[in-house]
Amino acid sequence: MNPAAPPQSPEYAPPELGAREKDPWIETRPGVVFFVNALLASPILLTLYPLTLRFLLRTAGILDRPSRVLDPVPAVAAHFLPVLGWLALPALALVVWNLRFVDRVWARRALWLFALVHLGTLAFTVRAVL
């Protein structure tokens, strides 16, 4: 008998999980579409990281000259985004479609974040074209 283990009484019993929590969510249809949405948003999020870091460093006064690490990413993004930015339109449609049947709170919040990312990409693309 392990002395560190709590006694086996009903008040120490772990809570029972419902049927919904026992099933792997990613193997369901909403989970698969959520995963595809995350894959479609990941290149944009990877581009936003150096942009945000560069903005914060320049605002704080730490980075006062061009950076070899942080400046090529926005330059490449500005070059390719007017062409590839329109691909955010079908990705945004997929997010809106997935919001109709996803019932998990954390997944809905992430989908709204993906929708904002795609809308921002579309706005940047429209601004770059006009």
Residue 6 has pLDDT above 70, yes or no: no
Whether the Cβ atoms of residue 116 and residue 124 lie closer than 8 Å to each other: no
Q: What is the pLDDT of residue 115?
A: 94
Q: What is the mean pLDDT of residues 90-97?
A: 92
Report which of residues 69 and 15 the model is more confident about. Answer: 69
pTM to 2 decimals?
Answer: 0.67
User: Does the structure show a pLDDT above 90 at 101?
Assistant: no
Q: Which pLDDT band holds residue 92 (cuts at 50, 70, 90)?
A: very high
Tokens of 10: 């009903």
Which of the four pLDDT bands, split at 50, 70 and 90, describes residue 64?
confident
Residue 97: pLDDT over 80? yes
Count of alpha carbons within 13 angstroms of residue 26, beta-carbon side: 4
Q: Which helix (H) or strand (E) holds 50?
A: helix 29-60
Which pLDDT belongs to residue 114? Answer: 93
SS3 25: helix
Residue 86 has a pLDDT of 85
